C-alpha cells in the first residue's frame, strides 16, 4: 500500500472534521454540492472515506487533530521505509519525499512530520520487537529442550525480575540466557535494561544470545554476544542525579560468537542448531 494522493489525504481530513456532527450522507451531499469543497472530486471523497474505514480512523477513539491522524495512518500503512526510520532519518531534512509531500498536503511542517514519523516508528518497532522476541524465545526453547540431560526453565514466562529469559541446568553447567531476536540478517538491534546489565556483571552464567529468524519466524542461527563487548558499549552514569535504565545496542555481525559456547558440552555431538552460525 502506498501513501494516498494529496487530494485523498485532504478529503480524509474533511471527513474526520465533519463526521462527528453529521452522518456520511449529509457530509457527502455537502462535499459534492457546495462550491467550497469542489476542489476535490466525488470519487476522491469516496476513496478517502474507504481509506479511513480501512485504517480504523472512523472508530472515534483518537483525540489528536485530524491532520495528525491522517498523516500518522498514511505513514503506518504506506511507507516501506518506516521500520528502518531510526537508522535512515535523523532530522527533518532527511525525511523521504513521500512523507514531506503528505505533510505539506495536510498543513504540517517538516519538524512536525519528523516528530510524527518518530512516534509512528516507535509504535511499529515496539510491536515488531515483541512479535519477533516472543518467537525467538520459543524457537530457542525448542532447541534447548531437546538437549540431553538438561533442565530448561523459561523464567521470563512468569517474571522479568531475574535479568534473563531462560535458565539451563545440567551436570556441571549453568546458563542464564537473555534472548535477543531479529529477522534482519546483518543487522541486530537489541535493548538491554539496567537490570539485565547488572545481572550480567554479577552472574558468570549470564549470556546474551542472538537468535536470527527467517521472515516466517523459523530459527536460522544462534549466536552469543560477548559480555565484554556489551560492557564497552553501555553508557556510564555521570552523576548521582541521573542514571540510564535502558540502552540500545547495534551489534555488528563480526562480534558474534557462533552458537552458545557456555553450553558447548551439551551440544557438541547433538547436531543442534545451537552450534550456530553468526548471522
Q: Which residue shows C-alpha cell 517474571?
A: 159
Q: Give ∠ CA 245-251-257 in degrees, rounded to 5.
A: 115
pTM of the model: 0.78
Residue 243 φ then ψ, to 5°: -150, 145
Nearest-angstrom CA–CA distance, 82 and 48? 22
Predicted pLDDT at 273: 72
Supply 19's cell numbers. Answer: 463526521
What would the pLDDT profile of 216-231 be if each residue is shown by its tens digit? 999 999 999 999 999 9
- Residues 213-267 have pLDDT tens digits of 999 999 999 999 999 999 999 999 989 899 999 999 999 999 999 999 999 888 7
Q: Which of these, 63, 76, 64, 180, lies nearest to 118 by C-alpha position?
A: 76
Interval 108-134: pLDDT, tens: 999 999 999 999 999 888 888 899 999
Instruction: Report pLDDT digits (tens) over 39-92.
Output: 999 999 999 999 999 999 998 777 899 999 999 999 987 788 998 898 899 999
- Inter-helix orientation angle 110-145/97-105, to 10°: 130
Which triple of cell numbers denotes residue 134?
Answer: 516472543
* In the chain, where the domains are located: 6-108, 131-275
Q: What CATH topology corresponds to 131-275?
A: Trna Endonuclease; Chain: A, domain 1 (3.40.1350)
Question: Contact 19/52 with Cβ under 8 angstroms?
Answer: no
- Given a cut of 50, is residue 146 above it in pLDDT? yes
Q: What is the pLDDT of residue 167?
A: 97
Whats the size of the chain, residue-wise? 279
Amino acid at each position: 500500500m502506498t501513501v494516498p494522493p494529496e487530494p485523498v489525504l485532504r478529503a480524509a481530513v474533511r471527513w474526520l472534521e465533519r463526521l462527528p456532527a453529521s452522518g456520511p450522507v449529509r457530509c457527502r451531499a455537502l462535499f459534492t454540492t457546495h462550491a467550497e469543497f469542489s476542489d476535490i472530486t466525488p470519487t476522491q471523497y469516496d476513496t478517502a472515506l474507504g481509506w479511513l474505514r480501512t485504517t480504523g480512523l472512523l472508530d472515534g477513539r483518537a483525540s489528536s487533530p485530524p491532520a495528525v491522524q491522517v498523516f500518522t495512518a498514511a505513514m503506518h500503512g504506506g511507507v516501506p521505509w518506516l521500520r528502518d526510520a531510526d537508522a535512515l532519518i535523523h532530522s527533518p531534512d532527511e525525511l523521504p519525499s513521500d512523507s514531506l509531500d503528505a505533510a505539506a498536503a495536510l498543513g504540517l511542517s517538516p519538524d512536525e512530520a519528523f516528530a510524527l514519523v518518530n512516534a509512528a516508528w516507535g509504535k511499529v518497532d515496539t510491536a515488531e520487537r515483541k512479535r519477533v522476541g516472543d518467537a525467538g524465545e520459543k524457537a530457542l526453547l525448542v532447541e534447548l529442550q531437546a538437549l540431553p540431560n538438561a533442565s530448561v526453565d523459561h523464567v521470563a514466562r512468569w517474571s522479568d525480575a531475574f535479568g534473563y529469559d531462560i535458565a539451563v541446568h545440567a551436570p556441571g553447567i549453568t546458563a542464564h540466557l537473555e534472548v535477543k531476536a531479529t529477522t534482519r540478517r546483518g543487522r541486530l538491534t537489541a535493548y538491554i535494561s539496567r537490570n539485565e546489565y547488572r545481572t550480567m556483571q554479577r552472574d558468570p552464567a549470564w549470556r546474551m544470545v542472538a537468535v536470527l529468524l527467517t521472515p516466517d519466524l523459523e530459527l536460522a542461527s544462534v549466536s552469543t554476544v560477548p559480555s565484554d563487548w556489551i560492557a564497552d558499549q553501555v553508557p556510564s552514569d555521570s552523576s548521582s542525579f541521573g542514571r540510564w535504565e535502558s540502552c540500545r545496542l547495534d551489534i555488528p555481525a563480526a562480534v558474534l560468537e557462533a552458537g552458545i559456547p557456555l553450553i558447548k558440552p551439551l551440544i557438541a555431538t547433538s547436531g543442534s542448531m545451537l552450534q550456530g552460525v553468526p548471522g
